[in-house]
Amino acid sequence: MIKNLNWPLMQNNISKSDLNALIKYLSSENPRLTHGNKVLEFENAWNLWLDSKYSVMLNSGSSANDLTMLAVRELLGPGEIIVPPLTWVSDVASVIHAGHTPVFVDIDKDSLAIRTDRVLEAITKKTKAVFLTHVLGFNGLTDQLIQELNRRNILLLEDVCESHGAKHNGRKVGTFGFASNFSYYYAHHMTTIEGGMVSTNDSNFYESIRMMRSHGLLRESTDLEFKSEQQLKHPDLNKEFIFMSIGHNMRPTEINGILGIEQLTKLSHNVEVRNSNFEIFLSNLDSNLYKTDFKVEGCSNYAFTLVLNKADFRRRDKIEEVLKKCSVEFRRGLSGGGNQIRQPYLKNRIELPNLKHFQNVEHIHNFSWYIGNYPELDTSKIPELTNILNTI
């Protein structure tokens, strides 16, 4: 008899204390709702937690991707950006939106991030940056990649939207690249309902992102010397309405900032719980059937990663049938639904590479799933699930 495990991908990540903080603020006299001091307070708190110099909060992680790629174009001009095929759609879309060309390379089976050797082979004179995604909480960095990109003067950009708190050599990912992007979507490690962040140690890049967040307005810059220079340079323009770039309105609200402040206090503990749950999951899986030797050092698990060792469509379909009967919600293909190269949005936009060069991501596309992991998960369900999976 199939047991009903009642296992959703995510449970509500906003606590009563988070809501009380919102109620307290909204009950104050004439509370400001558009972005202001609370957003700034969260940005500063995030810098302390991550150990970065500058951070700009946005209305989503996808906006963080878009502005990062636009700012890279402002800095270096258009060019090639090396990207993984296993990522969220907005990573690749942001490259195209900014006028760059995405160059795909296959992934590493153990970290699910782009393979270092394939990245180094793909670098050309047109390469402006490598946009690495830390998938589902895994650390996707290697020392060789960091060192070679530094030596070749190529930007490393980190997508950490699914991997808050993951570490490389004991240091949080998101601090190794020129810039890093985070998401605070409902299902992620922490949430502001919707929201994102760009973090960097480069002051000029920080100022560019700040201005782009609000239509490219010069008045959003915190660099007083730069503002004065530009105002003198454009005496025919109203000082309050000098647009330095083609920007967007990607501002968050004070509500997002307040939730970020509250949620951040629980983030490190929640990462520990998620990792503990993942250890139980992997240790109880049959390693003859499923991959259990992931690169877990420094992990900040986002979801239980289930990958068949061997290509077997009949077993795949049976697994999905059983999971549905057990009321276990899942997503096939891991991040972004698997291989982005197969997605229709790329057709007629770029010259698509041959799929035979992407054997690892093709296996993930067809024979992998993720299952919800969160601090409120009843851990007694984990061995029950693995026992079911092991007998399929």
- The one-digit pLDDT tens for each residue of the chain (392 residues) are 678 999 999 988 899 999 999 999 999 999 999 999 999 999 999 999 999 999 999 999 999 999 999 999 999 999 999 999 999 999 999 999 999 999 999 999 999 999 999 999 999 999 999 999 999 999 999 999 999 999 999 999 999 999 999 999 999 999 999 999 999 998 899 999 999 999 999 999 999 999 999 999 999 999 999 999 999 999 999 999 999 998 799 999 999 999 999 999 999 999 999 999 999 999 999 999 999 999 999 999 999 999 999 999 999 999 999 999 999 999 999 999 999 999 999 999 999 999 999 999 999 999 999 999 999 999 999 999 999 999 99
Burial class (CB in 10 A: 0-12, 13-18, 19+), 317: exposed
Name which of 249, 274, 240, 322 is nearest 10 in CA terms.
Answer: 274
What are the Cα distances from residue 313, in Å, to 45, 231, 318, 361, 371?
47, 64, 9, 16, 19
* Per-residue pLDDT, 12: 85
Q: For 16-259, which CATH class?
A: alpha beta
**Helices of type H across the chain:** 16-26, 37-50, 61-76, 89-97, 116-122, 143-151, 203-213, 224-233, 254-284, 313-325, 359-367, 381-390
* Per-residue pLDDT, 247: 77
Domain with CATH 3.90.1150.10 in the chain: 267-390
Name which of 83, 95, 68 is nearest 182 in CA terms.
Answer: 68
Contacts of 287 (CB under 8 A, 6+ apart): 293
CATH 3.90.1150.10 corresponds to the domain 267-390: yes
**Helices of type H across 198-337:** 203-213, 224-233, 254-284, 313-325
What's the whole-model pTM score?
0.96
* Per-residue pLDDT, 1: 64
Axis crossing angle, helix 61-76 with helix 203-213, rounded to the nearest 10: 120
DSSP 115: P
Domain with CATH 3.40.640.10 in the chain: 16-259
